[in-house]
Amino acid sequence: MLKDPEVLISEQDIAARVDELAAQISSDYADEGELVLVGVLKGAFIFLADLSRRLTIPRHIEFIAVSSYEHGSVPSGAVRLVMDVRASIEGRHVLIVEDIVDTGHTLHYLINMLESRGPASVRTCALLHKEHKTEVDVEVDYLGFTIGDEWVVGYGLDLAEQDRTLPYIGVVHPDD
Ligand code: IMP
Ligand code: MG
């Protein structure tokens, strides 16, 4: 029988942290007009849904999709754009919303790409950060939790499309 992934961060702890992040973002952008939230598909869709509904400032939702180039099954660090945002971000405040920062290559690519379009600002928000796996230094302006080097699923994150809709963040042990 398949075991449920071990709980790393509970549903309650996620909700409490998302509340805090939304309060901080709402206060930081209170005088800036509309904030463009750019959710990175697929992993960030649940985090973005919860975060965006807790903001108290005007907001506009966009999505973007990327994929990592692989050499065999080993990520090469190169990132490819699969789906772009629909709106122009010129002159607007942008917040990239990611599920997890691992090596940092994805976020680094997205920051550079969006910066090149003349926005008023680009900041980043990630629910999770695997601190010790960083290959490219990227600043996460709004971070939920720092975790270790383990594969996590749930709350939008998957392992080969499994466990994406678990309500909590769980750890998968490949040899279970
Ligand atoms: P990076 O470019 O190495 O920072 O990769 C980040 C992307 O890899 C994330 O947006 C996720 O889609 C995926 N990823 C990295 N670690 C995990 C994990 O533990 N669980 C699920 N997805 C992950
Ligand atoms: Mg992601």
Q: Which residues are CB-neighbours of 85 under 8 A, at least 6 positions away?
A: 38, 62, 63, 64
Q: What is the pLDDT of residue 74?
A: 65
Active-site residue identified among 50, 99, 102, 163 = 102
Q: Give the ligand 1 atom nearest the CA of 108.
A: 2
Q: What average pLDDT does the structure give for the chain?
A: 94
Q: What is the pLDDT of residue 170?
A: 98
How buried is 29 (Cβ within 10 angstroms: 0-12 exposed, 13-18 middle, 19+ buried)?
Answer: buried
Question: pLDDT digit string (tens) for 6-30?
Answer: 999 999 999 999 999 999 999 999 9
Residue 107, CB-side half-sphere exposure with 13 Å CA sphere: 27
φ/ψ of 54, rounded to 5, equals -95, -5
The residue that leads in pLDDT, 127 or 78, is 127
pLDDT of 1 > 60? The answer is no
Q: Give the ligand 1 atom nearest the CA of 102.
A: 4
Atom 10 of ligand 1, nearest CA residue: 100
Peptide linkage before 42 cis (omega within 30 of 0): yes
Q: For residue 3, name the pLDDT band (cuts at 50, 70, 90).
A: confident
